[in-house]
A and B are shown apart, each in its own frame.
Chain A
């Protein structure tokens, strides 16, 4: 289904707000199902969710940590006076996991979007071009930052240093010593970029034109209306839960 990027942004906003407003895992479960259905309608692959298997221990820890702090519900595992696992903890743990999955699922809706279209959509939503440009640069710098980090770690290993075998306290020292030059190098890149922008006349004139244009079509109006109706119905139906 090909819709305008603003339609997608609205859907993402709806899912994100719903995920943050509701706490009940049953409701969040329903929202997640709708989210996955939307992702399917947009024909986007679910492959990213496979990676979450790695975090299974983190999820389990989340439930245990929640049990420590959330004293509601029945205790399931108790050590002296300390609750190790409570039904309340499980409840909140599951809520956090579901919220996380909804937010990731919402992000997936935008995965196949063209960056320049996304930025044009933001401009059309009356967001100042300077801010939009900053977002564009932010998106552009994520892979640069990841690449720099990968190069540094490869560089360390190729100098024969195995961080896994280094004593943990020292590893922290290595990470700290790596991050300051890394941030400095990214800052230097940003500075060079700003000079290049000035040289190319960035913000020389108050307005700018765009080669590409985007416009809402019939399908967008249908999808936007449907999304709003479903949201209102959902909020109405779920108010009793």
Chain B
């Protein structure tokens, strides 16, 4: 059974005539590695928000782990899916980089030692440990992106949705991110990357879905039940 299943999903933003996503039917497996590509405004981010239940489809249904997404609370969705927004600033709400990573871990009942260990591990991944005392808002866009990524990775979700994860990061860290994603995928985490970074997607070696004007125009390497 597919982990995420979209059946005839359409969504139109209020005040717009054209749907952002139209009649999309897709199945994603639990351990699939997917890259969703497309030009700006092709509906990629809207698709992610629909999967997360942040937007409710006007038509069709989205099934997450056997249940319609609408039946889950956002907290329950968060327990199943890790999501990094296109704009990382929107995910920052703590007074230090360390607290940003520790936040979810603490509230999920991890012990002090575990929290510290995981914070160190995931901040070290992107060489951010030295910035742990900094206010997240004062970081560069690329650093914010990596902090947001680390905060989500530290929660070790079953499935990861990354919206434009390479938007502001340098070539060196881009390569590092690719390696890290490859590693966590090998460990059994499903990954969906939404990106128009052709170079990054090309080396991603997974199923590739291309979107245009809210529709899927290419699906290479379809998931089979």
Contacts and interface: CB of A to CB of B under 8 A. Distances in A.
Interface string B146-169: 000001100100000000000000
B93 A178 contact: yes
A166 B75 CA distance: 12
By secondary structure, the B interface counts as helix
Interface in A162-186: 162, 166, 177-178, 180-182, 184-185
A157 interface: yes
B103 A159 contact: yes
B104 interface: yes
A161 B89 contact: no
A163 to B, nearest CB: 9
A215 to B, nearest CB: 30
A182 B93 contact: yes
Interface string B101-120: 00110011000000000000
Interface in B19-74: 52, 54, 73-74
Given A181-B136, A185-B137, A188-B137, A160 B93 contact: no
B127 interface: no
B83 A158 contact: yes
B103 A161 contact: yes
Interface string A132-153: 0000000000000000100110
A154 B107 contact: no
B78 interface: yes
B79 to A, nearest CB: 4
B213 to A, nearest CB: 26
How extensive is the interface on chain B, given as a class? Answer: 20 to 34
Contact of A156 (B52, B83, B93, B155): B93
A169 to B, nearest CB: 14
Contacts of B99: 177
Contacts, number: 69
Interface residues of A, number: 21
B194 interface: no
A184 B90 contact: no
B77 interface: yes
B91 interface: yes
Counting chain A CB atoms within 10 Å of each CB, which of B78, B89, B94 scores highest? B78
A238 to B, nearest CB: 44
Contact of B74 (A151, A154, A181, A188): A154
A155 interface: yes
B94 A181 contact: yes
A175 to B, nearest CB: 11
Interface string A4-34: 0000000000000000000000000000000
A148 B52 CA distance: 18
A185 B89 contact: yes
Nearest to B151: A159
Counting chain B CB atoms within 10 Å of each CB, which of A148, A152, A157, A160 scores highest? A160
Contacts of A177: 93-95, 99
Contacts of A157: 73-75, 77-78
A188 B54 CA distance: 27
Contact of B79 (A156, A160, A180, A184): A160
Interface of B: 52, 54, 73-75, 77-79, 81-83, 85, 89-95, 99, 103-104, 107-108, 135-137, 151-152, 155
25 contacts: A148-B90, A151-B85, A151-B91, A155-B85, A157-B74, A157-B75, A157-B77, A158-B74, A158-B81, A158-B82, A159-B78, A159-B103, A159-B152, A159-B155, A160-B75, A160-B78, A160-B104, A160-B107, A160-B155, A161-B103, A166-B107, A181-B92, A181-B93, A181-B137, A182-B93
Interface of A: 148, 151-152, 154-162, 166, 177-178, 180-182, 184-185, 188
Given A160-B108, A161-B104, 19 more contacts: A151-B90, A154-B54, A155-B93, A157-B73, A157-B75, A158-B78, A158-B83, A159-B107, A159-B151, A160-B75, A160-B79, A160-B155, A161-B103, A161-B107, A162-B73, A177-B95, A181-B92, A184-B135, A185-B137
